[in-house]
Structure 1
């Protein structure tokens, strides 16, 4: 389900920022819970990387039995693809759509990268990383200032 923030009341649940194959999860009060930065082998378009990131975070949420969340993505093509009945299959959204069907309280919203510093920083770090990285309960140092200032 696509959820447009500007027309709804504030969301109560987990807030997930996806940036390519990196993602960050905060609770409904804005507290940091987890972040992950994966690596990709091969050459992928930004939309393909975003779809892979969505697949990974949805798989993780499923394994953790977390069901009420809002995902913010800076890929308009992916968000539109997920909300339409037909979409460009040059990148595989079928698995992502199937995963979303098991989450009745899941929402996805498009957010411009320029309006979300955390998404921008996470995407940049993900691209420059040569290893998978996980952070739990304590954010990575490159996000501390943004998270503490509230200018997410």
Structure 2
């Protein structure tokens, strides 16, 4: 399906500069220009000469950095992408170990000490974003 982003409205002066780096990528884009100041709107479509490249997604972790051993605690995954919006494909690892696919990571089984928690979020096109957080488990 098509999606449109308004980049200008009520433009005066006859021109509008558009920074293409701020627009979502992922394919062939085009601009639709609607002139509506003379009664019946007139539409023009202009295709981009070069497809816009996908933007890099972002991922982040929400949750405590210090937890007590055995106490209930969780980290939550978040990710965003200009093309896909909110992401939902997340994989966690603790100290580089086995990977777990989930939107939350429960920390009740961690031994006391510092642990490197890594989150990887993946877009529909296969791009990934990585976020890490150190969690300290106190005895």
Bin the TM-score by the shorter chain. Answer: under 0.3
TM-score by length of 2: 0.24
Flag the structure with higher helix content. 1
Which structure would you say has the larger RCO, counting Cα contacts within 8 Å and 6 or more residues apart?
1
Flag the structure with higher strand content. 2
TM-score by length of 1: 0.22
